[in-house]
Each structure stands twice: as C-alpha cells, then as structure tokens.
Amino acid sequence: MNKITSLFNIKYPIIQGGMIWNSGYKLASAVSNAGGLGLIGAGSMYPEILREHIQKCKNATDKPFGVNVPMLYPNIEEIMKIIVDEGVKIVFTSAGNPKTWTSFLKENGITVVHVVSSSVFALKAQDAGVDAVVAEGFEAGGHNGREETTTLTLIPMVKDKISIPLIAAGGIATGRGMLAAMTLGADGVQVGSRFAASVESSSHDNFKQIVVALQEGGTQLTLKELAPVRLIKNKFYQDVQQLYEKCPSKEELVSLLGRARAKRGMFEGDLEEGELEIGQIAGLIKDILPAKAIIDTMIAEFEQAKREVVRFDF
C-alpha cells in the first residue's frame, strides 16, 4: 500500500489520465479492472453522453474509477450535477481554478484531485482542499503549462511545497519512467499517451497508428496564446506555424483553429486537418496494446528496474 493506492483503494499507483476523444468507459473500466485507476474524459462529452459512459463504466467494473473534468467546459454545472447524481466517487479537475468546485465535490463525498503545471498552482490546489495533486510536465500530451517545466524538474519542486499525495504526469509510459518519477518524490503516476495507443482507447485507428509510428521530436507545444497544447507536427500544425510567421492576432489563431479540430483529428481520423494531441513519449511507444498488458508490463518493468538500481555501485 502507498498513499495513492490507499487514497483510491486500487492495486497499483497508476492512473490513466482523462483524455478527450480517447478515454471513454471502455478504456477507464479496462484500466480499473487491471488494477489501476481509470478516468472517463468528460472534456469531449455532452452531459448526457457522460451520464451514459458513467453508467456503462459501473456495469463494466466493480473497481474504483473516476471522471476527469477540464473546467473550461461550457456545461460544467450540468456535468458536476451528473457526477453527483450518478454517485461518482473520484473526480480529477484540470484547466481552471481548483477553488471553484472542490468544496462542492468534497461536500458530496467525492475525492478530488487537481492537475497543475507548477508548484505555485500545486499550493493553490492544496489550499483549495484537494486530496491530491497531479503535477504534469512539459513533455505531456494535451494541454499544458506555459512555463515549459519538465517532469524531471517539476516533481521535486512540487514535492518540496506540498504535503498531500503527489501524482507525476508527463513522459511516463514505462515501469522505468514510473520508478524515476517515484524516486523524485511522486506517490503515483498519471499516464496519458501510452493509453491513447491502447486497444480500448476510443480514438480513431488512424490516430493510434500515427502515434505508434511517431519518432522522437515528432511533437511540439504550440498555441500558447490560446491554451498551450502539444501536437503532432501534421499539416494542421504546419498551418499554425505558417500563420505565426505573420504575427497573427489571437482572433486569427482562434479562427484557424475553428471548431471541433480535436474531434476531427483524434476521433474521426483526419490526420491532415485535425488536431492530434500526444506527448513526447510517443517516440517510445511502438505498439497498440490492451490496457491490461500496458499495466502488467509497467509493473514488471518497475520491479526489474528497482532490482537493477539497488545493484548500482560507485
């Protein structure tokens, strides 16, 4: 047992990050059934779709699972009401102020975790009363902090500042990465990209195939003026870069982004015009595996790496 396994009542301190267009009930329940903590990604779901996924997840697993809610969400009040109505026990919030919803969720008996990209935000989350913090480094897939703090530097700095449990995210896809993060002071890890390339991920097969074919350096953090996001360098990304050469206004960037780019890319499989979010660690991911195989492999690698590390001698 450690702080994270006991906080969530799970076997392994591995959390599958909530991911728009990737983490529906199939992925979340498969991760939870394999001993990790699966999260349904509410960010790409209309409220009634989220309700359906929560109900299906309850039928697919008797293990704990949670919901990730990016707080930029337009229907946030409805989303939170559904979460409470459906008896969800764990919520990970991101992209917003942790003060806004933490007390409401806690009053309803929900364990609350907030995702941050700096130690200043980690302290704010702790002060807001969350049960744990996810500290997510610059390497991570999806939306990210502006400061570009890497996981290797972020985790020990956050660890110094907070006393509540700490979950590391960004660049972790193997048991070795997990051991490294936990050596730096994390109590558990949140893994995104590795689970995006899983059998149970709801993303389009075209997206999964481009992820496993990606080489080191295949992604870049961009659109910092809107909401910084790490993207695969496809045609849409090149269009964004071309626009940057003309010193665009924020409105011009918003207009190029348009609507539903992420859905088009990750869910509908348009690899040219769509927005394709993935982390730097995709360069290491070479196969699309079932969630259980990903977790079992990570745990075996973690144990192996631990044995190797104690043999180091200077």
Ligand X SMILES: Cc1cc2nc3c(=O)[nH]c(=O)nc-3n(C[C@H](O)[C@H](O)[C@H](O)COP(=O)(O)O)c2cc1C
DSSP string, 180-222: HHHHTT-SEEEE-HHHHTBTT--S-HHHHHHHHHPPTT-EEEE
Residue 190 touches ligand X, criterion: CB under 6 A: yes
Select from 30-38, 72-80, 117-125, 192-200 the region that touches ligand X (CB under 6 A).
192-200
Residue 94 touches ligand X, criterion: CB under 6 A: yes
At 83, the amino acid letter reads I
Alpha-carbon distance of 255 to 253, in angstroms, equals 5
Residue 20 touches ligand X, criterion: CB under 6 A: yes
Work out how close the CB of 155 gets to ligand X at its nearest, in angstroms, rounded to a whole number: 13
Work out how close the CB of 116 gets to ligand X at its nearest, in angstroms, rounded to a whole number: 11
Alpha-carbon distance of 55 to 244, in angstroms, equals 44
User: Which of 172, 231, 232, 299: binder of ligand X (CB under 6 A)?
Assistant: 172
Work out how close the CB of 178 gets to ligand X at its nearest, in angstroms, rounded to a whole number: 11
Per-residue string for binding with ligand X, 231-270, x by CB under 6 A? Answer: -----------------------------------x----
DSSP 13: S
Q: Which two tokens stand for residue 303?
A: 């144990």
Work out how close the CB of 57 gets to ligand X at its nearest, in angstroms, rounded to a whole number: 16
User: Which of 61, 193, 198, 234: binder of ligand X (CB under 6 A)?
Assistant: 193
Burial category of 312 from C-beta neighbours within 10 Å (exposed 0-12, middle 13-18, buried 19 and up): exposed
Q: Decide if 178 contacts 158 (C-beta within 8 A).
A: no
Residue 171 touches ligand X, criterion: CB under 6 A: yes
* Total Cβ atoms within 10 A of residue 258: 11
User: Which of 41, 165, 188, 218: binder of ligand X (CB under 6 A)?
Assistant: 41
Closest CA to 219 of 264, 285, 175: 285
Residue 18 touches ligand X, criterion: CB under 6 A: yes
Per-residue string for binding with ligand X, 272-301, x by CB under 6 A? Answer: -----xxx-x--------------------
Q: Which two tokens stand for residue 241?
A: 């870069």
Q: Decide if 272 contacts 236 (C-beta within 8 A).
A: yes
Give contact residues for ligand X (rule: CB under 6 A).
Answer: 17-20, 22, 41, 43, 68, 70, 94, 115, 136, 139-142, 169-172, 190-193, 196, 266, 277-279, 281
